[in-house]
A and B are shown apart, each in its own frame.
Chain A
């Protein structure tokens, strides 16, 4: 599997470290339902069979965090952008 790093170009996935689902968002700790929201944020995943947005770290290259859009059925990658947004 090759990941198209926006800075380095297409590179083998062994240069990258996987974190997981990029769509989960850290909840507001001051919210009244914060306890439940943090549980869901830490532990629960949609785990889709198909398009998945996920975080990869390019430790063997530019050291950027990427949001990669990948199909979990075919491993086809349709998009890879910097997690921080823009060019870093």
Chain B
């Protein structure tokens, strides 16, 4: 983040006041974005963001920085495209360079039926006004010549879907940019302040109890990702969410090689190259409930094997570091932005391992919900009660099994 430090102004660190119009629990990307849009879009500036650690200490600072909008199912498609459109204007809106790099993302197809499937995905995207191009093997050999096109390839490359507007953003700058922009509107950002309970007034949430005292709030929003279940449990809510660990990795830095974001089609594996030269990559969640922010070795092996199958040259590189983050895996693999059964309490969770790309739209829509008490149109289907009504948004068709989404 050194290249950014000169452009960043210091943030004002606040002592909590006794009461606010809105308190947001969680000072990650989504919570900070929500506070910013409450102030910028709705004129609600008497807002506090309460963070138990420090700003950006959670998933916004530990993801693989990919932004894209290649979703197929109603409820997701328009929402994630709205998010990508917000990304495209974000550096100007926040007056902070979030280093959005629309380098394009490939999703590879490794057989004829998978090529049909990605073509279908591309058609759905284009019918929704989202850019998508179907490329054949010959196109790919020119654009990404370093993949395994040999006859020995375990998963031969038939083609790919390319979203040119997809890419990466600088995650630390996103957290800082939203924090500073919210701060400039007068939002209080309170670090090292853990919520220990909710203030209940006649069946309504009227604020939060914290390690730094009671803070009253007209409305309270929860945006705490992997910790959603136990924060919600303080208001006697049980959520359709499990917390799982997802690992990510960075190689030693090398000269420019991977110009795009690549997504393997045979297994879950995605890779891009950071501005510092490291190859940033990840795969599937480890697959069991975890709050440990670290994973186990079989998942590391799976990720590296997938990478080697796509790009055999990866085997020549050393792994520089790896880390884990907590994913709020929902029961259908899609997020929740909704009111709760408890008055005054609003919920933003269930981002699975796709929360970073959603940061702007999540904040925009959650702020709208809290300010107006009605959903923003593109987030109207991200309801908490969809497990009751049956209006699930199950992109992968895996059913109520969070570790399979």
Contact = CB atoms under 8 A, between A and B. Distances in A.
A and B are partners in one complex rather than unrelated chains: yes
B240 A72 contact: no
B231 to A, nearest CB: 10
Contacts of A28: none
B interface secondary structure, majority: mixed
A72 B403 CA distance: 15
A82 to B, nearest CB: 19
B238 A44 contact: yes
B91 interface: no
A42 B296 contact: no
B381 to A, nearest CB: 17
Interface in B297-328: 298, 301
Contact of A75 (B292, B387, B388): B292
A72 B243 contact: yes
Q: Say which size band chain B's interface belongs to.
A: 20 to 34
Interface in A30-87: 39-40, 42-50, 52, 54, 70, 72-75
Interface residues of A, number: 26
A19 to B, nearest CB: 8
B243 A39 contact: no
B296 A46 contact: no
B229 A72 contact: no
A25 to B, nearest CB: 15
Interface string B378-405: 0000000001100000000000111100
A interface secondary structure, majority: mixed
Nearest to A12: B298
Contacts of A19: 401
A10 interface: no
A27 to B, nearest CB: 15
9 contacts: A12-B298, A14-B301, A20-B403, A45-B238, A47-B239, A47-B289, A48-B229, A54-B288, A72-B292
Interface of A: 1, 12-14, 18-21, 39-40, 42-50, 52, 54, 70, 72-75
Q: Considering the complex of A and B, which 7 residue pairs feature the smallest CB-CB distances, nearest first?
A: A14-B298, A47-B229, A43-B387, A43-B240, A44-B238, A1-B296, A49-B291
Given A43-B240, A44-B387, A72-B290, 17 more contacts: A12-B298, A13-B288, A18-B288, A20-B289, A21-B289, A39-B387, A39-B388, A42-B387, A44-B240, A45-B241, A47-B229, A47-B230, A54-B288, A72-B243, A72-B289, A72-B291, A75-B290
Interface of B: 227, 229-230, 233, 238-243, 287-292, 296, 298, 301, 331, 387-388, 400-403
